[in-house]
């Protein structure tokens, strides 16, 4: 899409990241901080003064590297096939790896000086750094001997390669043929988001063709995806075991400061949603039969956006967001308005652009918290916008706290374990706002309720299926079991039945099988962070918080949560909200909320 004055305001402005300096200037400054570490690695513990200078340099390095990483990676995600940014990322990677090798013994130095560092940390000036170093010291048994550590640094230079291969294939190299509507008119497809839009069409022929084309595009690459995934998990498991972990999964649990029982508890709690899931699916199918006047409902029928509330323009979407977030008060709304005014957001879809949505990480040193999305004028797009703003405003508040001179720097991020809570809280507030807005319109109200319930199950039941699949596959590969497309699909179908009670695998036509290729195109599987079950945590806790946000005590707790960053363990951070993930009442209450909404659908 050619950029003109009308579209430019809907692109993000990344230039303020560089603060009127050139990218090469920032790279030179980054190298200086790295050189300082190399030169002082064996002397920074000599005195309280040298220790303070060391911490200041680390702080500067973090700010500078975040500037560079965000500027380059965000440009790259705008066009994943643009060689300029690909080459820059590779060059930066080479620089980083060179210094990683030189600093391979850093953790050994920290451990060697553990007693001295703890004495320094007792000084009031450094007390806020205690958790930062506690996390380093707890890794003691997983640190390799020095020479092995140096070799490790060299070998892991390609550890993120599988994720890059997946993203390039799924977002850039996969192309989509034109599709036809019921009149036979051919429609050109630029990106996956075009197909997602047409899957919502009232034209059944167009809807079906979009559904088949979308799923077939990924289906035809299942062997490539499965082999990439196998080697990714094989690598991740081997790296983990080399550090004394039982598996990649075990390493993730260690990093998240939880144990396996927490994961299994969440799996079991979400499995208990099966009864309401089945009840809802039957009601939804019946509703769609009536509305679409089709007896035999197919998968592509259930994607139909049968009620076009309105063709929502971006400016309208902004206003909807601001009205929906009123319960969070002006302190929160001011940040959202700043995001709109300062062009934090890349709204528009285009070829080569990452076909998902995200709010940036690594934000220390930044004062703008950028969002990439693909706005398609739908209510879902408004939901995506308010979701990503949840992340960005979260970044703003913990960034503000950690940049305060009275607070410390190290906790200026959000652990992925609880990062989805603010986003789901925002989405739920949008639902409450729209439900009230259309309270007297039973048709729209029914539509909104179904959208909300669909999203709830997509974030809980669907993500737990994905998570259980990832967990099982990673563990099987760790135990030297074979993994193929066939075994991957069989496990996926088994888990669908376990968590939903549905067995929809009887149709043998190949086109019905296309949809199961979904399991191989979950980007998080290639990132080695056992992430997707955390969407369920975000959905359940976010809903709980949104229901109570008008209570002054909950609002106070919520802002404490937003400002805490990573200053506490993930479970302790969630406890700031007055919530424990092992409390069954949270899941029961959530189930009751959805049950009540299902009852609302039956009344209409």
Taking only the tens place, the pLDDT of each residue in 546-558 is 999 999 999 999 9
CB neighbour list of residue 118: distance below 8 Å, 6 or more residues apart: 133
Q: How far apart are CA 144 and CA 157, in angstroms?
A: 17
- Asked whether residue 157 is assigned to any structural domain, the reply reads yes
CB neighbour list of residue 465: distance below 8 Å, 6 or more residues apart: 492, 495, 496, 499, 500
The lowest-confidence range among 145-149, 374-378, 417-421, 488-492 is 145-149
- Asked whether residue 314 is assigned to any structural domain, the reply reads no
Query: Encoding tokens for residue 340?
Result: 């709109």
- Asked whether residue 503 is assigned to any structural domain, the reply reads no
Q: Collapsing DSSP states into helix, strand and coil, what is residue 143?
A: coil
Q: Count the domains in the chain.
A: 1
Residue 313: CA count within 13 A, CB half-sphere: 4
Q: What is the per-residue pLDDT for 407?
A: 57
- Asked whether residue 136 is assigned to any structural domain, the reply reads yes
The pair phi, psi for residue 359, each rounded to 5°, is: -115, 140
CB neighbour list of residue 223: distance below 8 Å, 6 or more residues apart: 485
Q: How far apart are CA 108 and CA 127, in angstroms?
A: 22
Q: Are 520 and 226 in contact (CB under 8 A)?
A: yes
Query: Encoding tokens for residue 267?
Result: 């799996």
- Asked whether residue 404 is assigned to any structural domain, the reply reads no
Q: How far apart are CA 372 and CA 360, in angstroms?
A: 8
The CATH code of the domain that includes 103 is 1.20.140
- Asked whether residue 526 is assigned to any structural domain, the reply reads no
Q: What is the per-residue pLDDT for 502?
A: 86
Interval 535-540 mean pLDDT = 95
Q: What is the per-residue pLDDT for 405?
A: 62
Q: Are 16 and 368 in contact (CB under 8 A)?
A: yes
Residue identified by tokens 């080459």 is: 87
Residue 58 pLDDT greater than 70, yes or no? yes
Q: Which of 408, 461, 525, 456 is nearest to 163 (CA)?
A: 525
So which residues are the catalytic ones?
388
Interval 393-407 mean pLDDT = 82
Helix (H) or strand (E) holding 228: helix 222-242
DSSP per-residue string spanning 324-390: HTGGGHHHHHHHHHHHHHTT-EE----TTS-SS-EE----TT-S---EE----SSHHHHHHHHHHHH
The lowest-confidence range among 104-108, 155-159, 339-343, 565-569 is 155-159
**pLDDT, mean over the chain:** 92
Residue numbers of the domain that contains 15: 5-161
Q: What is the per-residue pLDDT for 404?
A: 64
What confidence category does residue 2 fall into, taking pLDDT thresholds of 50, 70 and 90?
A: very low
- Look up the pTM and report it: 0.87
Q: What is the per-residue pLDDT for 1?
A: 40
């Amino acid at each position: 899409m050619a950029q003109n004055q009308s579209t430019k305001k809907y692109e993000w402005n990344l230039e303020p990241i560089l603060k009127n300096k050139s990218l090469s200037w920032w790279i030179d400054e980054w190298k200086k901080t790295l050189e300082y570490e190399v030169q002082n690695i064996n002397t920074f513990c000599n005195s309280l003064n040298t220790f303070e200078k060391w911490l200041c340099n680390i702080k500067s390095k973090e700010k500078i590297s975040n500037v560079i990483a965000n500027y380059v990676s965000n440009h790259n995600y705008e066009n994943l096939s643009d060689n300029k940014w690909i080459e820059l990322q590779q060059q930066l990677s080479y620089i980083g790896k060179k210094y990683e090798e030189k600093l391979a013994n850093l953790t050994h130095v920290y451990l060697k000086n553990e007693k001295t560092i703890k004495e320094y940390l007792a000084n009031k000036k450094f007390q806020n750094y205690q958790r930062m170093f506690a996390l380093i010291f707890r890794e003691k048994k997983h640190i390799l001997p020095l020479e092995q550590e140096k070799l490790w640094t060299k070998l892991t230079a390609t550890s993120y390669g599988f994720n890059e291969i997946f993203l390039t294939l799924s977002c850039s190299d996969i192309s989509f043929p034109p599709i036809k509507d019921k009149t036979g008119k051919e429609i050109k497809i630029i990106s996956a988001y075009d197909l997602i839009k047409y899957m919502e069409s009232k034209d059944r022929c167009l809807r079906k063709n979009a559904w088949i084309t979308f799923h077939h595009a990924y289906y035809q690459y299942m062997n490539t995806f499965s082999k990439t995934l196998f080697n990714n998990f094989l690598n991740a498991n081997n790296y983990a075991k080399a550090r004394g972990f039982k598996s990649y999964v075990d390493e993730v649990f260690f990093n998240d400061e939880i144990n396996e029982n927490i994961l299994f508890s969440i799996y079991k709690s979400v499995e208990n949603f099966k009864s309401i899931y089945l009840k809802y699916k039957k009601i939804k199918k019946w509703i769609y039969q009536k509305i679409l006047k089709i007896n035999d409902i197919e998968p592509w029928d259930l994607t139909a956006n049968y009620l076009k509330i309105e063709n929502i323009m971006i400016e309208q979407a902004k206003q909807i967001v601001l009205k929906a977030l009123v319960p969070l008060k002006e302190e929160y709304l001011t940040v959202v308005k700043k995001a709109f005014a300062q062009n934090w957001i890349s709204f528009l879809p285009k070829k080569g652009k990452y076909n998902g949505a995200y709010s940036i990480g690594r934000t220390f040193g930044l004062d703008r918290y950028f969002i990439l999305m693909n706005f398609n004028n739908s209510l879902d797009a408004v939901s995506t916008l308010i979701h990503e703003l949840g992340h960005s405003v979260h970044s703003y508040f913990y960034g503000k706290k950690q940049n305060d001179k009275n607070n410390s720097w190290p906790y200026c991020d959000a652990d992925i374990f609880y990062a989805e809570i603010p986003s789901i809280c925002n989405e739920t507030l949008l639902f409450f706002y729209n439900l009230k807005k259309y309270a007297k319109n039973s048709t729209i109200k029914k539509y909104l309720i179904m959208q909300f319930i669909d999203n709830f199950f997509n974030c809980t039941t669907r993500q737990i299926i994905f998570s259980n699949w990832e967990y099982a596959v990673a563990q099987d590969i760790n135990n030297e079991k074979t993994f193929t497309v066939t075994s991957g699909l069989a496990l996926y179908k088994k888990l669908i039945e376990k968590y939903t009670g549905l067995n929809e695998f009887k149709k043998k036509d190949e086109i019905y099988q296309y949809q199961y290729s979904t399991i191989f195109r979950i980007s998080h599987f290639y990132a080695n962070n056992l992430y997707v079950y955390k969407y369920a945590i975000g959905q359940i806790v976010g809903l709980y918080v949104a229901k109570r946000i008008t209570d002054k005590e909950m609002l106070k707790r919520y802002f404490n949560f937003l400002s805490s960053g990573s200053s506490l363990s993930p479970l302790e951070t969630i406890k700031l909200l007055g919530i424990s993930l092992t409390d069954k009442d949270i899941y029961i209450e959530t189930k009751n909320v959805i049950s009540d909404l299902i009852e609302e659908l039956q009344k209409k």
